[in-house]
Amino acid sequence: MHHLSAAPTSRHRARGALAALGIAALALTGCSVADQSGAGNGTTPATTDGASGASGAGTGGTVTVMTHDSFNITEEQIAAFEQESGYELTTTAPGDAGTLVNQLILSKDNPTVDAVYGIDNLSAQRVIDEGIVAEYASGALPESAQDLVVQDRLTPIDQGQVCVNVDGEWFTENDLAAPTTLEDLARPEYAKLFVTTNPVTSSPGLAFLAATVTEKGEDGWQDYWQRLLAGGTKVAAGWSDAYYSDFSAGEGQGAYPLVLSYSSSPAFAPATGVVEDTCTTQVEYAGVVEGAKNPEGARAFIDFLLAEDFQASLPENMFMYPVDESLELPAEWAQNATLAEDPIEADLRQIAEKRETWREDWNALYEAAS
């Protein structure tokens, strides 16, 4: 009896189906509630007339920049950039610094962005070896940052340090001297007080692993980590987990008075400090993507990141220090969170060649210990 169906009704149904398709098409093409404009930063009023109304030097068009997800730029800054350069700015932030590099590698034959910001020193060499970034020497680079440029391709934008942070109050209350060296951490009385982050899943964790390899040597780092883990050092999955849940001076008031964090963290937690001897440098770079459709715009954006306005906003916007060292830091930073004098500097080439091996070896060591 299903065969009773008739031609007119088929048409009727066809109309329904077409209507459904139409709705789908509408939904797909922009009959949408969400007011995201096609250009990406439609929430910024300035962008709509940025290209045409600009008096800057650029030739107009869009510059697309890929950043890590901690990149933070104010609407005023976007407007200023668009005004000065004459380009419209589109940003995309697919994930953390590691995800960013992976994305660039995956799309290197068919680049989809013009500039990249947020490559750190742990990935710098790899990005260059993969041929992802083109040469660029910015005239806006401050004197203090000249040494940080990597092979004429990666321009330093900001810097910071990964350091073991100390809950000073806890040590005073428990009448124990705080550790002062990397070696101290592995001693039985301190190892059990330390929470670090997994170098496989977190970037400060990887920076710390590289620092221990640099200090303890290719032959000694595994022994050092074995002592840490055997002594009761805890490994958290990521920064927020370690700092907010496990650190005794964090919001969760955890059980560990030593935590792997940043040199800037004490600016937000005055009772804490850093173990200077454990600090290791972190530099974040920008670069012009090889094969970019708008290399001019990419260069203009990098110059903008180096200009005083953006540099001065870095501590507030991204918890990083400007590479322009002539700029003054905010008061809490100057008081509690200055950079350590003589940080551990891991070798970029060694990192590029060995980081996968280190991580695999570390993972094996950690799995065996747990």
Q: Does 1 bind other proteins (CB under 8 A)?
A: yes
Q: How far is CA 11 from CA 6, 7, 15, 17, 89, in A?
A: 9, 6, 6, 10, 48
Between 6 and 341, name the residue whose CB sits nearer to other proteins.
6
Single residue of 197, 261, 278, 282 touching other proteins by CB under 8 A:
261
Q: CB of 125: closest distance to other proteins in angstroms?
A: 15
Binding residue for other proteins, selected from 54, 166, 228, 267, defined by CB under 8 A: 267
37 lies in the site for other proteins, by CB under 8 A: yes
Within positions 181 to 220, which residues make up the interface with other proteins, using CB under 8 A? 200-201
Q: Work out whether 42 is an interface residue with other proteins (CB under 8 A).
A: yes
Q: What is the largest CA-CA distance in the chain?
A: 91
- Report in angstroms how near the CB of residue 333 gets to other proteins at its nearest: 10
One of 57, 176, 177, 237 touching other proteins (CB under 8 A): 237
Task: For residues 289 and 121, give the distance between their C-alpha atoms in angstroms, rounded to a whole number.
Answer: 17
* Binds other proteins (CB under 8 A): choice among 74, 180, 181, 326: 74
What's the min distance (Å) between Cβ of 8 and other proteins? 7
Candidates 33-41, 48-56, 180-188, 277-285: pick the segment binding other proteins (CB under 8 A).
33-41
CB of 146 to other proteins, least distance (A): 28
For other proteins, the binding residue among 99, 151, 174, 335 (CB under 8 A) is 99
Q: Is 239 in the site for other proteins (CB under 8 A)?
A: yes
Q: How many residues bind other proteins (CB under 8 A)?
A: 99
Give the span between the Cα atoms of 200 and 215, in whole angstroms: 19
Q: CB neighbours (10 Å) of residue 83?
A: 15
Pairing relation of β-strands 258-262 and 133-134?
unpaired
Nearest to 359 by CA among 194, 262, 186, 221: 221
Interface residue with other proteins, options 118, 254, 297, 322 (CB under 8 A): 254
DSSP label at residue 232: T
- The tokens describing 162, both together, are 């990964």
DSSP 150-172: BTTTBEEEEEEEEEEEEEHHHHH
What's the token pair of residue 175?
């009448």
The correct pick among 4, 52, 175, 341 for binding other proteins (CB under 8 A) is 4
139 scored as a contact of other proteins (CB under 8 A): no
77: number of Cβ within 10 Å: 18
Does 226 bind other proteins (CB under 8 A)? Our answer is: no
DSSP 344: B
Check residue 319 and give left, alpha or beta (phi > 0: left; psi -120 to 50: alpha): left
DSSP bridge partners of 336: none
Our finding on whether 77 is near other proteins (CB under 8 A) is: yes
Residue listed under structure tokens 């804490």:
272
Footprint of other proteins on residues 331-360 (CB under 8 A)?
A: 356, 359-360
**Per CB under 8 A, does 107 bind other proteins?**
yes
